[in-house]
A and B are shown apart, each in its own frame.
Chain A
Amino acid sequence: MTDIKLSDQKLSIDAAYASVHDPACGGIVLFIGTIRNHNKGKTVTHLDFESYAPMAIKEMTRIAEKAKSEHKLQAVTLHHRVGNLAIGDIAVIIAVSSHHRKAAFTGCEQVIDELKEHVPIWKKEFLEDGSYWVNARP
Chain B
Amino acid sequence: MEKITLLCFGVARDITGAGNVSLHLRPRPSVADVRQQLIADYPAFGELVSFAIARNEEYADPDEVVENGDVLAIIPPVSGG
Binding site for B on A (CB under 8 A): 33, 49-52, 54-56, 58, 80, 91-92, 112, 115-124, 133-138
7 residue pairs bridging A and B, Cβ less than 8 Å apart: A50-B10, A52-B54, A91-B81, A92-B81, A118-B59, A133-B10, A134-B79
Task: Report B1-56 residues with CB < 8 Å from chain A CB.
Answer: 7, 9-11, 14, 47-49, 54
Q: Is B80 an interface residue (CB 8 A)?
A: yes
A22 CB, nearest partner CB in chain B, Å: 25
B38 CB, nearest partner CB in chain A, Å: 15
Q: CA–CA, A119 to B80, complex, Å?
A: 7
Of B7, B10, B58, B81, which is in contact with the most chain A CB atoms at under 10 Å from its CB? Answer: B81
Q: Report the interface size for chain B: residues with CB under 8 A from the other chain.
A: 20
Binding site for A on B (CB under 8 A): 7, 9-11, 14, 47-49, 54, 57-59, 73, 75-81
**Structural contact, B80 and A115, CB atoms closer than 8 A:** yes
Residues in B with CB closer than 8 Å to A136 are: 10-11, 48-49, 76-77, 79
Contact A116-B80, Cβ < 8 Å, known A122-B10, A137-B48: yes
